[in-house]
Amino acid sequence: MAGDDGRAQVRLDDDTLARRRRDLGEDHPDTLASGSNLAVSLRAAGEYQAARELDDDTLARRRRVLGEDHPDTLASADGLAISLRAVGGYPGALAAASNLAAIVRHRGEYQAARELGEDTLARRRRVLGEDHPDTLASANGLAISLRAVGEHQAARELGEDTLARRRRVLGEDHPDTLASADNLAVSLQGVRGQAARELGEDTLARRRRVLGEDHPDTLTSADNLVMILGRVGEHRAARELAEDTLARRRRVLGEDHPDTLTSAFILAAALFELGEYQAAKELNEDILARRRRVLGEDHPDTGASATFAIFLRTPRPLLKTLGWVSRRRRAG
């Protein structure tokens, strides 16, 4: 659910949780199921911190009520790992965040997600087997967490294994298979750019066909492909896709949703690569104002926009050189 529908879903799930807490008690399995559902809706609406707090509480209760290895407990563990990554912001923003305390804190979120993901995957492999769809969901999430903490080789290896298993178990076009393909494409971009591009283009085409042009997952694939295209030097194609993606995000999610602001930031970077510095500056200034209001001053994504704003005030003759140095540093 997105936009107004997403907020309506949050209100509905919040009301259901309140009623179940009143009628069944805090720890009843149905109450905990409602808590888990509300956390999913909160994440979809961009309310990541609220989702993280609710996931944390639900996991603790499910561990106590249902046990460490119960499928619902492990589902809550996966949900909490997703929320931890969401609270941490877009991983690429960490290097640019100007607030050291924010960098340390949010790296801690990624590390917590990684540790929780490793434990959950080990339990699901033991309880459900290597190829169970829930096991593969945990593996996919762990691959993302590994990439976020800088363990790129491990992330690629786990991503390749998970994609191969999902293709065999679920089929080429299953939404979960496409999620693994999208994640692997991102992991490949720093070492095998052309392979990343081919996989990213294929995944976007499949998601458009399976999920539709405006589905949030389709738009995530588009954002990722923009970055991959930039890495292989296809800057005009990257800019065109970024503009289309941002327009769709704004229509589907609204101007201030964190995912919309991520798409806008990716477009600002694409504009910079084409030498359209004024357009990049104006767009980034708008993003920065919105991120300060929506995410707060200390969020890494806000820090990334603040640092980019300083960068864009650098005298123009130096910008391309500095941009090259920045890209080389990221690639290393």
pLDDT tens string 250-259: 999 999 999 9
pLDDT higher than threshold 60 for residue 105: no
The amino acid at 23: D
Q: How far apart are CA 263 and CA 304, in angstroms?
A: 13
Task: Give per-residue burial for 254-288: e unless 16+ CB within 10 Å, then b.
Answer: beebbbbbbbbbbbbbbbbbeeebeebbebbeebb
Confidence at 149, pLDDT banded by 50, 70, 90: confident
Confidence at 64, pLDDT banded by 50, 70, 90: very high
Q: How far apart are CA 271 and CA 139, in angstroms?
A: 35
Q: What is the mean pLDDT of residues 136-163?
A: 93
Nearest to 143 by CA among 174, 165, 128, 172: 165
pLDDT higher than threshold 70 for residue 229: yes
Q: Specify the DSSP class assigned to residue 94.
A: G
